[in-house]
Structure 1
Amino acid sequence: MVDISKVRAIDIHTHAEEPCGCHSDDGYDDLQAKMAQYFNAKIVQPTIDQTAAHFREQNVAAVIFPVDAERETGYRRFSNDEVLEQVARNSDILIPFASIDPWKGKMAVREARRLIEEHGIKGFKFHPTMQGFYPNDRMAYPFYELLAEHGCIGLFHTGQTGVGSGMPGGNGMRLKYSHPMYLDDVSVDFPDMKIVMAHPSFPWQEEALAVAQHKPNVYIDLSGWSPKYFPEILVRYCNSILKKKVLFGSDWPMITPERWLSDFEQIAIKDHLREDIIKNNAARLLGLMG
C-alpha cells in the first residue's frame, strides 16, 4: 500500500500499456505511434513494471488503469485482472483503477462488482470518445449505481483527445461524446458517485469549471496538458473556488510526471495550495487521508 507520507505527489491519471508488439493484429501500435507524435512523447508503451520503476524513482504515487474500448475500436483490451496482477507487485507506488466498456451491460456490472468486492478497486476509467457513448446514456446507469453503492470514483475523459488525432476521420472517434456537460446529468442522478472530469476540457473549459463548482461530487484532473498551456480561467479557479477539487495528473506515458511537475512550478499557483493540488486533494478523494 502506498505510504502517502513518503511520496511528494499523487498522479491521478496514468495509463497501463501492454508491451510493444502485443497489438500487431489490431492496429493499436499504429494508434499509439501517432499519439506519441502528437504529444512529442519519448516513452510510448512501457510495461507496468517499467512504469512503477519510473514513478518510484520520481517518488510519485500513481493511479493506473487500462482503457476497455474494444467494442468501439476493435483494439483488444488489456485485461483488468492482468493489470491487477502486475500492479500488486508494485503496490508501494501504484494504485489500480479498472476499465470496463459500459456497453457491455450486465457483463460490465458483474465484472465491476467482482473487482470491487474481491479486489477493493476504488475507481473506474471511462473514455466516452473511445467507447462511443454519452456519459448520461441510461444504458450506463446500472454501472453507475454500483459505483455509487460502493463509494467508487468514475474518472471520465473530457474534451478533445490526442487519441486518433491526425488519423483519417480521427480514427472514427467523435469528440462530441466527451462534452463535460453530460456529466452534469450524471452528477445529479448519482450524487453519491464521485466523478473526476479528466483533463482541461478544451474547447469546453468553462462548462467543466461550472459543473465542478456547482456539484459537490465532481472534481477535475489536470492531466494531458503541460500546465504552461493551462487557460487563465483554469488557473484562476485552481487558486480559488476549486482549490480543493483539482488534482494532479500527468497522462503518462504521453506526459511524464517530472515534466508536468516542473512546468507546474512555473505557473501562478499560490504557494500554500501547491501541495493540495499535487497530492492532498487526491489523497482525500482516494480515502488515503482525512
Structure 2
Amino acid sequence: MSGGYIDIVCNIFTPEAVVGGMTGIDDAFKAKVRMDPAMRDGITIEDYLRRMDAAGIERSLLIAVRAGDLNVRLSWEVPYEMIAEICQRYPDRFSGLAGIDQTRGMKGLRELEQAVNDYGFVGAHWYPHWFGCPPDAPQIYPYYAKCCELDIPIMMQVGQNLVYSSERRLPSVARPILLDQVAIDFPELVLIGIHVGVPWTEEMISMCWKHDNVYTAGDAYAPKHWPQSYVHYANTYGREKVLFGTDFPVIDPIRGVQEVDALGFRPESHRLLMRENALRIFKKIPR
C-alpha cells in the first residue's frame, strides 16, 4: 500500500489489552464516544489491519502508553516489548511510539533510548494529565533533551482531559500555550500537540504559527467536529503543520478518513495532512 495514509496516533485495543487493563477507558467512556458495541471488548490486530486497508491507511504509529506513576493506584502501561513485537511482525504497517513516565528518572531515559535504538520506535508519547504535570514542568525536561539527542518528535495530549474512567478523574493540566516556553527552550525538538487542543484550539494554532518546531494532530475528535478555524488552518497557511490521527479506538479509521475527505481539502493540503507531513516529521519511519 505504498503511498497510503499515515495515522500518527493509534492505541492497542486487542481483547488481551482490554482484559489486561491496558486501555484506560471504561464502559461509560465507550458509550460516550459511541463506540460500536461489537468492538467494545477489543479487536485483533488482524481485524484492525483490515480496517486500515479499508480506510487506505498504510501505516499506524502504535503507542506503548505509560499512563501515570505505577506506584499510584489505577496507573497503567503498555509494555514497550508488546508494541515492539507487533511492529516486528508487521514492519510495513506499524511503527512504535515510546510512552514517557518522567517519574522513572534515569531508568526511563535509558528505556527511551533502548526503544529507539533497539526496537526501532520512531517517536515519543506523553500524557501530562496522568501525571498532573504540565508540559513546561522541570521534571519532563530531561526527556525533551533525550528526544533531541535521539532526533525523534514527542507528542503529547494538550487541551482538556475527559473522564476516561470514573474510578480516576484527572485534571486538565496541558493547555497548548504551555508549549510556548518548551519550544523556546528546545528549538531543535519537534513538539506535536495531539487531540486538536480542544477547547483551546486557537492556542494550539497560535503555537504552531509562532514556532517552527510545534505541530498539531487532528485526532481523538471526529473530523466533522473539528473547529472551523482548525480546518481552515490545515487547509491553508498551516497545511505543513497539521497531521492526521485517530486515537483509535476513539475514532474508527474508516470514519476518520471518510470525514476528512468530506471536509473538501485542497489536494496539496490533503496530501500533507494525510501522509507527507508525517514522513517529514518522523524521520525514522521506514521509507
What is the TM-score when the length of structure 1 is the normalising length? 0.88
Contact 2:235 2:270 in 1 (8 A): no
Return the letter of the residue paired with 1:242. Answer: G
Q: Please give the per-residue CA displacement for 1:165-192, whole angstroms capped at 9, x wherever unaligned.
A: 7x37xx33001x1211111111111111
Instruction: Say which of 52, 56, 71 aligns to 1:55.
Output: 52
Contact 1:48 1:87 in 2 (8 A): no
Instruction: Say which of 277, 280, 287 aligns to 1:284.
Output: 280
Contact 2:60 2:95 in 1 (8 A): yes
What value does the CA root-mean-square deviation take over the aligned residues? 2.2
Q: CA deviation at 1:204?
A: 0.7
Contact 1:13 1:223 in 2 (8 A): yes
Instruction: Say which of 16, 40, 49 aligns to 2:34.
Output: 40
Partner residue of 1:85? 85
Partner residue of 1:134? 134
Return the letter of the residue paired with 2:230. Answer: L
Q: CA deviation at 1:57?
A: 4.5
In the alignment, does 2:14 pair up with 1:13?
no
Residues 208-227 of structure 1 aligned to structure 2 (within 5 Å): 208-227=204-223
Contact 1:21 1:29 in 2 (8 A): no
Relative distance call for 1:122 and 1:269 in structure 2 (3 A) is: same
Distance 1:30 1:254 in 2: 12
Q: Please give the per-residue CA displacement for 1:46-72, whole angstroms capped at 9, x wherever unaligned.
A: 344543343245331111103211425
Return the letter of the residue paired with 2:61. Answer: V
Distance 1:65 1:289 in 2: 17
Contact 1:245 1:281 in 2 (8 A): yes
Contact 1:7 1:59 in 2 (8 A): no
Relative distance call for 1:209 and 1:289 in structure 2 (3 A) is: farther
Percentage of identical aligned residues: 23
Q: Which runs of 5+ in 1 are unaligned?
A: none
Partner residue of 1:272? 268
Return the letter of the residue paired with 2:60. Answer: A
Distance 1:29 1:126 in 2: 15
Relative distance call for 1:130 and 1:50 in structure 2 (3 A) is: farther
Number of residue pairs aligned between Structure 1 and Structure 2: 278
Return the letter of the residue paired with 2:193. Answer: M
Contact 2:236 2:269 in 1 (8 A): no
Distance 2:73 2:221 in 1: 24
Q: CA deviation at 1:164?
A: 2.5
Return the letter of the residue paired with 1:255. Answer: I
Q: CA deviation at 1:121?
A: 2.0
Contact 1:52 1:90 in 2 (8 A): no
Contact 1:196 1:219 in 2 (8 A): yes
Contact 1:68 1:131 in 2 (8 A): no
Q: Which runs of 5+ in 2 are unaligned?
A: none
Partner residue of 2:226? 230
Distance 1:30 1:123 in 2: 21
Partner residue of 2:63? 65
Distance 2:44 2:83 in 1: 10
Relative distance call for 1:100 and 1:48 in structure 2 (3 A) is: farther
**SS of the counterpart of 1:219?**
strand
**SS of the counterpart of 1:136?**
coil
Q: Higher mean Cα deviation, 41-50 or 139-148?
A: 41-50
Instruction: Say which of 247, 255, 267 aligns to 2:243.
Output: 247
Distance 1:12 1:73 in 2: 29
Q: CA deviation at 1:73?
A: 5.4
